[in-house]
Structure 1
C-alpha cells in the first residue's frame, strides 16, 4: 500500500517560516526529541525536494543549515540515527571495497545509431508489431547510469550499472548527492526501483577543475570521467565535496505501475525524483526526429553533456509485447548525435613552453572539423602519454575536444611512422637543458627563456599578479615582437612614443597603460610575490608568505639560504618550499628579479599590530558582505589570531558567510566549534575592542 505523505503534516513547524531559536538539547525529554527529529527529517526532506527538484526553495540557506544542524545534534544526543535520515548525506568513514550486487531488473543497453534510416526502421518494426504508438523523447545523458532502489519509501541501495545484471553497491556515496532523496515524498509505491543518470553539470565541472588546478592537482578530462571517478571513490566524504547531480528517467520495477511512461515521469517529481525538463511526448517518429534535431541545436547551451536522444514507446503494454533481446530493450532506440571526433594525420609536432617552463607537445594537424570547429592542432599532453599512445609525425589520429573545448589526440588510428615522438633534450626556444619531473618535461632556462619571459609578463600583469589593465596576451605579444619588452623590468621603461607608434594604440590607450604601470611601482607585497610567477605559488600562498616574512628581502633571504623556514608557512610543504628555493637561486631568475626591483618597491606587510584576538584560531567559509574573506583573515591575524583553511579541534570559531561550504560546517559541528554568521563575527570583534569603522 502507498505510504502516507509525512511531509504534508500541516502541524510541522519547520515547513514554513521555521524557528531557529531552539531549546537546549539537554532540556528535551526523549519523547520530545523523537517528535522533533521526525518533524525535522520531514521538513529537511521537503526543503531538499523544493530545492533540487522544484528549484523553488521556500527558506533561506542559513535557515536550512540551522534545521539540519539541529537534526544532527538531536540524533547524536539521543542516539536516533537512521539510514535514511538526511544527515546521512554528508559522507562517513571510508570503505575498503564495494560489494557486488544483482540488479532488481536487468539494466540493458539501448540499440543506437546516428543514421536517420535506422531510426525509421526501428519505428517501422514497432508499427508492424504493435500498431501506431506515441513516443517519449529524452536527452541521452553522457554520465553514469545507476539503479536506485526504494523500499517503503526509504533508499535501500544505489548500484552502478556494471555489466547490466549486477554492479557495485555505492549507496553510501549516492547518499551524499543532493538530488538523491533519502526518503521518497508523496503517495509513493511500497517498492520502487528507478534508473537514473549521475552527472556533473558543466559549469560545476569547470569550477571544480579550476579548484583542482589551484590545489596543484590534475584536472579531469571531461565531466563524464569526473563523474565516474567520483562515484567509485572509497571515501564518501570526497563524493560529498564534488558537485554531482542526478536525472531519473525510467522505472525498473515497482509494486504499482502506471499505464504509460509519460505518467511515470509525471509522478517522479511528486516522489522527489528529479526529471529533465527537455522530455517531450510526440505522436510519431517524424516528430521524434524533429525533437532530436532541435536538441542537437540546443546541445551547447545545456549545462550537462548529452550525445543523442532516446526514443521510447510510451505505452507499457506495448513495451511488454515488444520485449527485449539479450542486450537491449526492443521498445527504445537512441538516435545519436554526430560524434565530436574526427580522424586526421599529424603533419608536425611543436613544443610549447609555458610560464613555469613546462614543455607541452602539440600536434600540428591537417585541418579537420571537430564538433563544428576547424581544428589544426591538438595537445599531446606530455612525454609519457605520447609513449603510451605510440603517436608520431605521420600517424593518422583521432581528435576529440575535451569538454568540447580543448582539442587533444585520443588515439592512433593508423601508424604512418616508426615508434613515437621523442621530446627534445634542449628547450626549443632558449636551448637550455630539459629536465624531467615524472611525466612532465621542463625547460631550465627560467625567466631567461623568451617563451617563459612573455608568459611571465602576461602573468605579472594579469589577475593573479598586479592586474595591469590594458596589458593582456595580445598586447604583451605585440610589445615583445616589437622589441620593446625583453624582460619584466622593461615594462617600467616603456615610453609614450613607443606605444603610440604601434598599430592599434592611440593616445588614450597609451596614457592609460602608462598610468597603470606607474601605479604599480609600490605594490602590496602579496601581489608582488604572486606576480613573479613562482611555480606552485598562487595568490593564496603568496599571501601566506608575505604574512610570515613581512618584507620581500626577508622572504628572499629565507628562500635562498634557509628553505626549511618556508615549510612552517601555511600552504607550503617541502615540495613547494623546494620549488621556491630553486626559483630564487636560479641565476636567470635572480637577474630578472633584481632588474624589476630597480623600478618597484614592494610594500611591507604590517604584522601583529594588536593582540586583542591572541590565542584564537578562525576559519572562514562563504562570502561576507562587508569585507572579502582575505580581508577578514588579514584582520584577525593582525590582531594576534590565526586564520587557517580547515576546521579542527583547535579551531575556536568558524565564520560562515553566504553560501558556506558544507564540509567546513560539518567539521565544525563534529568538533563542537561555534559557528558565527557575519553579524555575530562583527559583534565578537567589538566585544574584543576592535573598531571596524
Structure 2
C-alpha cells in the first residue's frame, strides 16, 4: 500500500484517534496549545479526505469528538481561532452584506440547447484560431454546468481571506463569513500553494440534503424551498452565518480567476486544484473534437437523475490556454467557452420523498418532493398528494416516476405513476410528524389531534388568532408572529397578552413606539365578542358563520365549553368523540352541537374533540386569564321568524356577517347553503353561480341587496 504523502506525521488524531480526553480545566496552557495545533492539523486532513478525496479516514462520531474537543480548548484558553476549522460554526450576525470588487471579471458564457448551436460555436473557434495562425490541436475540456450560485474565493499565502457572489460580474456581495462555514471550502490551502489565488466555484445544496431539509421545513409548517439553487442562494445571503452553518451547502471549484502561477490548460487547472485542497467534480473529460463533446453532453443528460447535485447542461471549453488567449472575449462572454444546456424536464419526474405537512386546522396533507420538472411553463419540485386515500389509490412512493399536472397558479398534483421504482406506496403515519399526537382519519382526510399544542399548528394558530378573520390585532402579521416565536416570546395565543414593551422593543426592526402600539392593540382585544373569539381559536371546521350560530345558541363561552366537556375529566391526553360516543355524556355533547344550525356530525365531533384535548384545555385556561369573551345577545325579535336566508357575493351596505346578524336577531335563520327549506337567496356583487343554480333548482326566490333591504324595512327590522 502506497503511503499517503499528505497525511500528517506523528499526529495521534489522524488514524484511529482516541476520543477520551483529559478535562480541559485540568490542562496547562502549553499542552493545550500543542493539542489544539494537532487537532487543527488532523481536522484539516480529515476535511480533505472527506470533501476532496471522498474517502474519509475516520467515522463521523470520531470526527465530531475531535471537533468538539478543539472548540473546548479554544474557548477555555482563549486561543486565536484565525483560520481554525471551528470557524465553520459561524460568526456574529452581520448588519448587511457589503460589496466586493472581483480580482478579475466573472463573466457569463454563451449558451444554447440545440446541437446546431454547438456546431456553430465550434466553427467560430476554428475560424478564430485559423485567423490567429494557431497551429495547435483543438481539444475541448468538458465539465457539468452546475445549477447553483457562482462565487469567487480568494486565498493569500494559502489562507482563506474572502468570498463574494458573482453579482454583476465586476462587483459581488461579500459572503466571506457565510462561505467560511462550508465544509468543502478549506480555510488553508495544502501543499505547494501559490502566494495568491482567486478561484471560481459553484455553491450548491446536495439533492439528498435538499430533500431532507425541505422535509424538515414542511413538517415544521414552513414553505419548502422551490429548488436546490434557491435554497443555496438564500442560505448564502443570510446575515447570520450561524444559519448558513446549519444548512447543508457544498461547493465545486472549476476555474482560476487570478493566480501567481500560470496554467497551460483547463485540464491542468482541474488536476491542480485538488492538490491544494480544493474540491472538483469528477465528471470532467478532455475530448478530441466537437462530436465527442456532444457525446459527452448526451452522457451527462442520461446520468443527471442519478447525481446528488443539480446540473442543467455541460460547459465546453477550448482546453489550451494559449488558444483561449488568442480567441479572447466579447464584451460579455469568452469566445472559447459554450454552455450546452439540457432540455427542461417536462411533466414526468421522480419522487424523491413524501412528507406530511400539518395545516393550521391540523389537517395532514402529504406532499411529494421531486426532481425539478417543468409544468405549464413553471419549474416545480413539489406536488400535492392531497390525502392518504389518494396515495393508496395511486400506489405512489419515493423512487417512482410520476406524471405531474398543474392547473392554474396552484401547487401541482401527482396524477399517475408512470413507473414504479420504489418499494410500494408511502405508508401514511399514525402519529403527527410535528408533535407525535395520534392521527385521526375522517373519510379520506387525516387530522392531527394535538390542537393548540402542536408546533406545526402553533404559528398558524397564533397568526389566525390575530388575523382579520380572528380578533384583527393590527401589527401581528405573519412576519411579526414568526419573529415572536423564533425569539421564544410566544408559544401560543395566551402568551401574546403577557408581552411587554421592553421585550418587544429589543427585537430587530422594533422600537418603543411600535412595541407600545402592539401592547395597546392586545389590551383592546381583551373583551372580544363571543363569535369573534370562537372564530379566532381556529377550531377545525368552525368558521365565522358557525361561530355566530354557536354564540347565538349557547350565549356564553362557558356554556359552550361545558357542553363540549360534559362531566368527564380527560386524564390520559387527547380524547376524541369516538372514544365517548355511547356514553350518556358523550352522546349529549354530540347532540347539543348537532342541533345548532349549520352544525352537522363532522363539525360537532370537531368541536368536542377540540375542547376535550388536554393541551387545548391548558391553553384555553391560560387564555381566559387574559381574555373575557363577551356573552352574545340572544334576545331576538320575531319579525323574520320561520324565514331562512342565504347570502352569496359581497354586499355594499353590510358585511356578510352583519347581514346574517340582522336576520338572526329578527328571529330568522342565516345558513350557508341553499336547500328546499331556503326562503330567500340574497345575491350581491361577484356572486358565485352554484348557489344561484341551487336556488333555481329549489324554486327559491332571489333578492338583490336593495330588495333585501326593502324586505327588512317591510318587516320592521330596519
TM bucket (normalised to shorter chain) is 0.5 to 0.7
The 1:537/1:266 distance shift into structure 2, 3 A limit, reads: farther
CA contact (8 A) 2:362 2:451 kept: no
1:185 deviates by 1.9
Match of 1:401 in 2: 379
Structural mapping, 1:187-586, within 5 Å: 187-340=192-345, 356=361, 399-403=377-381, 406=383, 458=387, 473-474=391-392, 526-528=437-439, 532-533=447-448, 572-574=491-493, 581-583=537-539, 586=542
What are the Cα deviations for residues 491-548 of structure 1, in whole angstroms up to 9, with x where unaligned? xxxxxxxxxxxxxxxxxxxxxx9xx9xx99xxx99325796335977977799xxxxx
Match of 2:86 in 1: 87
1:597 deviates by 2.8
Q: What is the number of equivalent residue pairs in this alignment?
A: 430
1:111 deviates by 1.0
The 1:594/1:243 distance shift into structure 2, 3 A limit, reads: closer
Structural mapping, 1:666-681, within 5 Å: none
Inter-partner Cα distance in structure 2 for 1:42 and 1:316: 35
CA contact (8 A) 1:535 1:580 kept: no
The structure number with the bigger radius of gyration is: 2
SS at match of 2:97: coil
SS at match of 1:526: coil
Inter-partner Cα distance in structure 2 for 1:476 and 1:116: 38
1:156 deviates by 0.6
Segment drifting more, 528-537 vs 290-299: 528-537
Inter-partner Cα distance in structure 2 for 1:81 and 1:248: 28
1:186 deviates by 2.3
1:165 deviates by 0.7
The 1:284/1:23 distance shift into structure 2, 3 A limit, reads: same
Inter-partner Cα distance in structure 1 for 2:69 and 2:24: 9
The 1:9/1:359 distance shift into structure 2, 3 A limit, reads: closer
SS at match of 1:185: coil
Inter-partner Cα distance in structure 1 for 2:372 and 2:577: 47
1:270 deviates by 2.1
1:148 deviates by 0.7
CA contact (8 A) 1:146 1:159 kept: yes
Inter-partner Cα distance in structure 2 for 1:144 and 1:540: 33
Give the alignment partner of residue 181 of structure 2, picking from 176, 182, 191.
176
Q: Note the residue ranges of structure 2 that are not aligned, 5 or more in a row.
A: 348-358, 366-370, 396-426, 459-484, 497-532, 551-563, 566-574, 584-718
Structural mapping, 1:89-128, within 5 Å: 89-128=88-127
1:583 deviates by 1.9
What are the Cα deviations for residues 50-91 of structure 1, in whole angstroms up to 9, with x where unaligned? 112222111122211121122112222332223311000001
SS at match of 1:229: helix
What are the Cα deviations for residues 128-169 of structure 1, in whole angstroms up to 9, with x where unaligned? 313531111111111100001111111110110011111111
The 1:150/1:25 distance shift into structure 2, 3 A limit, reads: same
What are the Cα deviations for residues 286-333 of structure 1, in whole angstroms up to 9, with x where unaligned? 100111112112222222222111001111122122212221111111
1:198 deviates by 0.5
1:259 deviates by 1.6
Q: Note the residue ranges of structure 1 that are not aligned, 5 or more in a row.
A: 343-353, 361-369, 376-397, 408-453, 460-470, 478-512, 544-566, 602-693
Inter-partner Cα distance in structure 2 for 1:215 and 1:235: 21
CA contact (8 A) 1:527 1:542 kept: no
1:194 deviates by 0.7
Give the alignment partner of residue 165 of structure 1, picking from 151, 162, 170.
170
Match of 1:348 in 2: none
Inter-partner Cα distance in structure 2 for 1:584 and 1:400: 33
SS at match of 1:178: coil
Inter-partner Cα distance in structure 2 for 1:264 and 1:600: 78
The 1:179/1:582 distance shift into structure 2, 3 A limit, reads: same
CA contact (8 A) 2:438 2:449 kept: no
CA contact (8 A) 1:6 1:42 kept: no
CA contact (8 A) 2:438 2:448 kept: no
1:258 deviates by 2.6
Inter-partner Cα distance in structure 2 for 1:289 and 1:476: 38
Match of 1:24 in 2: 23
1:117 deviates by 2.0
What are the Cα deviations for residues 389-426 of structure 1, in whole angstroms up to 9, with x where unaligned? xxxxxxxxx522313x549xxxxxxxxxxxxxxxxxxx
1:257 deviates by 2.4
Inter-partner Cα distance in structure 2 for 1:526 and 1:7: 52
Inter-partner Cα distance in structure 1 for 2:336 and 2:213: 38
Match of 2:35 in 1: 36
What are the Cα deviations for residues 668-691 of structure 1, in whole angstroms up to 9, with x where unaligned? xxxxxxxxxxxxxxxxxxxxxxxx
Inter-partner Cα distance in structure 2 for 1:314 and 1:116: 20
Inter-partner Cα distance in structure 2 for 1:600 and 1:278: 67
Match of 1:345 in 2: none
Match of 1:621 in 2: none
Inter-partner Cα distance in structure 1 for 2:264 and 2:176: 30
1:31 deviates by 3.2
Inter-partner Cα distance in structure 1 for 2:36 and 2:582: 61
The 1:85/1:371 distance shift into structure 2, 3 A limit, reads: closer
Match of 1:140 in 2: 145
Inter-partner Cα distance in structure 2 for 1:145 and 1:371: 20
1:284 deviates by 0.7
Match of 1:597 in 2: 579
CA contact (8 A) 2:363 2:448 kept: no
Match of 1:68 in 2: 67
1:356 deviates by 5.0
CA contact (8 A) 2:364 2:448 kept: no
CA contact (8 A) 2:373 2:379 kept: no
The 1:539/1:195 distance shift into structure 2, 3 A limit, reads: same
SS at match of 1:263: helix
Inter-partner Cα distance in structure 1 for 2:88 and 2:214: 23
Match of 1:10 in 2: 9
The 1:372/1:67 distance shift into structure 2, 3 A limit, reads: closer
Match of 1:395 in 2: none
